[in-house]
A and B are shown apart, each in its own frame.
Chain A
Amino acid sequence: MASGFSAYLRRDLLLAYRRRGEAASPLIFFIMVSTLIPLGITPESARLAEIAPGIIWVMALLATLLSIDGIFANDYQDGSLEQLLISPHLLAMPILGKTAAHWMVTGLPLTLASPLLGMMLSLPAQGYVPIVASLALGTGCLSLIGSVGAALTVSLRKGGLLLSLLVMPLYMPVIIFGSATVQSAIDGFAWSGPLAILGAMLAASIALCPLAAAGALRLTSVN
């Protein structure tokens, strides 16, 4: 069954590759802004270690927010979104493909770069595996939830900031459990619990968010 998932996944990855610089900016933002933390708060290793899990998670969230409106905005502007809407595919599948591409371009690099940031922010040794694991699952959730917000604001001109405001409350459970995963590991407790909840959130998001985004796109992009 040609569901459109892989077609749009490939398409968006190719488009991102052509705009490599733009696609890399969330990652660069992630690393640069994390440098602000020692500058703004303290360079002391012990104090950084206390706040490192939360900081890395907040930075990942902000970096995702930077790029999330790009999922649909570029297509809306050049008219290919309309083509998507009238295509014979079940709309949720291409959306899932586009969101997966977004994650691979944004969330995955963040996840892979997080040990580097952990080192810069004095993350304790037990925190490295949990931070990668929690970011891997969590950034997926962030991309999916963000796609719903992007679909709602796609036809607005200054949609980017509004999008951030809309999805921020919805991101809060993800950051709670993501950060708690790492913190539990550092404190010596079992961290599979919060991680499992992140996994459950990801599973639910994969199932529901494309449907919500599809509904939103159909209803709002024809102004």
Chain B
Amino acid sequence: MNWLSNRSPSWQWFHRLGSPRWFYQTTGRWLPWLSLLAFMLLSTGLLWGLGFAPQDAKQGNSFRIIYLHVPVSFLALAGYYIMAIAGAVGLIWKMKLSYMLMKSAAPIGAALTFLALFTGAIWGKPTWGTYWVWDARVTSMLILLFLYLGVLALQYAFHSNDAGNKASAILALVGTVNIPIIYKSVDWWYTLHQPATIKFTSAPSMHPDMFQPLLVMILGFYCFYTVALFLFTRAEILCRERKSVWVKELAMAREQS
């Protein structure tokens, strides 16, 4: 892969991107703003959705859970792809930082998937009368959680070394290929067994007054995800690079302050 490491400016930028120190310092500058943005978007969206959006005709006030459930579900799925792409970049360009991003994306994605399942279950009780129902969406989300847990388990089993990074990356990629297959299979499976009564009210039929706060929440959650990803990656960088000079200087500076 020699053509990748030539000294042209565009590739220099790409390779600088791979420096953990650069990442740590740059994200250190961005984080305050990103956190503020995330906080403002999330609090605005939540207040709007919980307090100001009109009730749903059929579901009443419990539909407000949508303002948590939908964004979290988006991020849970998007997060898996982010993890897989980071893994692929790490495998192809052998970039340490990319592996660190991949490792950080795993617990965040797993937590968000759990949250998606939890909020979905809580929503299900007043809406459909039961906390758990084996419909296509819930089942697919559960399988996504299992995929995340698998990647996490593999990461821990390898005790944080080079082979572990590669194994996790391969597993994430295999999972990525399988996600459409799994989702389609579960969809099809559900149409075989679908009880006649349950029809999930989906977003397209939403009134704009209900939809706008949802959009704010989705944006807010994307910002939140980025903040969390940066924070986890920074912690990973400090741990992995602890023998390097800049980390030592950072630690000493912190001790003195």
Contacts and interface: CB of A to CB of B under 8 A. Distances in A.
A153 B163 contact: no
A152 B154 contact: yes
B167 A220 contact: yes
A169 B146 contact: yes
A219 B171 CA distance: 12
B158 A156 contact: yes
A115 interface: no
A127 B106 CA distance: 42
A87 B48 CA distance: 65
A162 B181 CA distance: 22
B130 interface: no
Contact of A148 (B149, B174, B185): B174
Contacts of A220: 163, 166-167, 170
Contacts of A223: 161, 163
The A interface is mostly helix, strand or loop, or mixed, namely helix
Contacts, number: 74
A166 to B, nearest CB: 4
B147 interface: yes
Interface stretch (B20-28, B37-45, B52-60, B186-194): B186-194
Given A169-B182, A177-B185, A212 B174 contact: yes
A180 interface: yes
B134 to A, nearest CB: 12
Nearest to B169: A219
B149 A219 contact: no
A173 interface: yes
Contact of B178 (A152, A169, A216): A169
Contacts of B181: 173, 201
B139 to A, nearest CB: 9
B156 to A, nearest CB: 9
A112 to B, nearest CB: 26
Interface residues of A, number: 29
A177 B178 CA distance: 15
Interface string A152-163: 110110110010
A45 B170 CA distance: 45
B121 interface: no
Interface in A202-223: 208, 212, 215-216, 219-223
B92 to A, nearest CB: 12
Given A153-B154, A155-B163, A169-B178, A219 B170 contact: yes
A156 B157 contact: yes
B150 interface: yes
Contact of B174 (A159, A170, A177): A170
B167 A216 contact: yes
Contacts of B150: 165-166, 168-169
A162 to B, nearest CB: 6
Contacts of B170: 152, 212, 215-216, 219-220
Interface in B130-170: 143, 146-147, 149-150, 153-154, 157-158, 161, 163, 166-167, 170
B175 interface: yes
B163 A219 contact: yes
B171 A166 contact: yes
Nearest to A159: B157
B186 A166 contact: no
B153 A165 contact: yes
A152 B157 CA distance: 11
Contacts of A169: 143, 146-147, 150, 175, 178, 182
Interface string A111-126: 0000000000000000
A4 B192 CA distance: 43
Contacts of A166: 150, 153-154, 171
Interface in A28-79: none
B63 to A, nearest CB: 30
12 contacts: A152-B167, A152-B170, A153-B167, A165-B146, A166-B153, A168-B150, A173-B181, A173-B185, A176-B188, A215-B170, A216-B167, A223-B163
- Nearest first, the 10 closest Cβ-Cβ pairs linking A and B are A173-B185, A219-B166, A166-B150, A169-B146, A176-B189, A220-B163, A220-B167, A176-B185, A152-B167, A169-B143
Given A165-B150, A215-B170, 6 more contacts: A172-B143, A172-B185, A176-B185, A212-B170, A212-B174, A219-B166
